[in-house]
Structure 1
Amino acid sequence: MTQAARPRPVPIAPDAANEDRPETGPAYELIELLFFAYRDFVADPDRILAEYGFGRAHHRVLHFVSRNPGLTIAELLDILRITKQSLNRVLKELIEQGYIEQRAGTSDRRHRLLTCTAQGEGLAHRLAGVQGQRVRRALAEVGPALRGPASRFLLAMIEPEERAAVTRLIAAQGRTLPLALDEPGP
């Protein structure tokens, strides 16, 4: 069986490709760059996760539980926007293999508070480490002056009604983002 020929990349000329398009037309260049950037952003962790028999859902759970110790299952479901059924399978595996602990809430015993074990923290840190290297390398290539605009662009990609919640979540972890898109970035 022969492999299909790979399509040749289309060169991206800054703004030239959009000169004859109305503002409402698809921003294909940015859409495709986001697809490729995401593909490569998750590729490094995917290789590590495969060593453990885990997937991207495991990564997301580990990331947010690690960054927010004591997170409830309801809060995690809200962050991830997944069904309780899909979270249950992933969470069960992470708990059974010793990466996450679950305990009853102090004020409401029905709440299940999630924390990473030392093993879970180690894996979450390893995964964030490779992604952090990629982000730092990209920022070094484009220059530190773009860090603020890049943060504002990504914040603008989030649904407007969700931006405050995302900003609060990141701020709770000791990080800062512009509270509004017209504020100067970090």
Structure 2
Amino acid sequence: MTQAARTRPAPIPDAANEDLPEVGYSPDRPAQDTSGQDLSEDQPSGAGEAPAYDLIELLFFAYRDFVADPDRILAEYGFGRAHHRVLHFVDRHPGLTIAELLDILRITKQSLNRVLKELIEQGYIAQRTGTSDRRHRLLTCTPEGRQLAQRLAGVQGRRVRRALAEAGPALREPASRFLLAMIEPEERAAVSRLIAGGDPTAGTGSRS
């Protein structure tokens, strides 16, 4: 792999740029609220209870602009949001296995393999065989992959810091609690460990 190939990635097919399902999405499991109540669309809402349109739409527009910043960078490489998510979590957790990454992203193995193939072939992610279990493939970012992941995280971090500066630093803790409460109750402990830099395999067995 030459340096030119890494700094000037070849265009990739549109199909490889397809966005992945949102993190935490599972098509086989209905959404639940904090009490465990089924939130699937066929369940009746509370009497006279209107959707929280203000928060729903604020979340939409906040996410739209939050991902727009890295989207502009990804376009330089011919990459999409799927590549961003893979780069982000592999950079944050070197040695992540394919199974762990699938569990984080909640996507099909076929979708992940397509994106990983492109990132590996273009020199942004490397993989090695597990030591105690050779069936495992451990993923790490190459120096080029880490540089790109850090560049993407940098623009999103600046937007978050700007928002906190405008809203007030005291908002950080309640904002974190709100976002954590949006996650499925049974997933919150694992997500908290992952965010804190803990082992993604905690409670599911050791990484090989």
Task: Provide TM-score, normalisation by structure 2.
Answer: 0.72
> For the residues of structure 2 that align with 1:39 and 1:24, how far apart are their CA atoms?
27
Hey, what's the Cα distance between the residues in 1 that align with 2:144 and 2:47?
A: 52
In the alignment, structure 1 segments of 5+ residues that lack a partner are 1-20, 175-186
RMSD (CA atoms): 1.5
Q: 51, 56, 71: which one pairs with 2:76?
A: 51
Out of 107, 113, 119, the position equivalent to 1:88 is 113
* Alignment partner, residue 30 of structure 1: 55
Identity of paired residues, percent? 86
- Confirm or deny that 1:39 pairs with 2:64: yes
**Partner of 2:169 in structure 1?**
144
* Structure 1 CA distance for aligned equivalents of residues 197 and 87 of structure 2: 17
Give the distance between the partners of 1:54 and 1:44, measured in 2 at CA.
13
- The answer to whether the 8 Å contact 1:98/1:120 transfers is yes
**1:62 touches 1:120 (CA, 8 Å); kept in 2?**
yes
Q: TM-score if structure 1 supplies the norm length?
A: 0.80
Higher relative contact order structure (alpha carbons within 8 Å, sequence separation ≥ 6) = 2
Give the 3 Å change call, closer, same or farther, for CA 173–142 of structure 1 in structure 2. farther
Count of aligned pairs between the two proteins: 154
Match of 1:64 among 59, 77, 89: 89
CA distance in 1, matches of 2:182, 2:160: 18
- Partner residue, 2:147: 122
Alignment of 1:75 with 2:104, yes or no, is no
Offset at residue 75 of structure 1 (A): 0.1
> Which segments of structure 1 move beyond 6 Å, counting only runs of 4 or more?
none
- Tell me the distance in 1 between the aligned counterparts of 2:47 and 2:155: 39
Do the aligned partners of 1:99 and 1:118 also contact (CA within 8 Å) in 2? yes
Contact 1:67 1:173 in 2 (8 A): no
The amino acid that maps onto 1:168 is: R
**Greater C-alpha radius of gyration:** 1
The C-alpha deviation readout for 1:78-114, integer Å capped at 9, x for no partner, is 0000000000000000000000001100110000000
Higher helix share: 1
User: Any idea what SS the aligned residue of 1:115 has?
Assistant: strand
Q: Does the CA-based 8 Å contact 2:92-2:197 persist in structure 1? A: no
Q: Equivalent of 1:103, from 124, 128, 133?
A: 128
What is the DSSP-based 3-state SS (H/G/I as helix, E as strand, rest coil) of the residue aligned with 1:172? coil
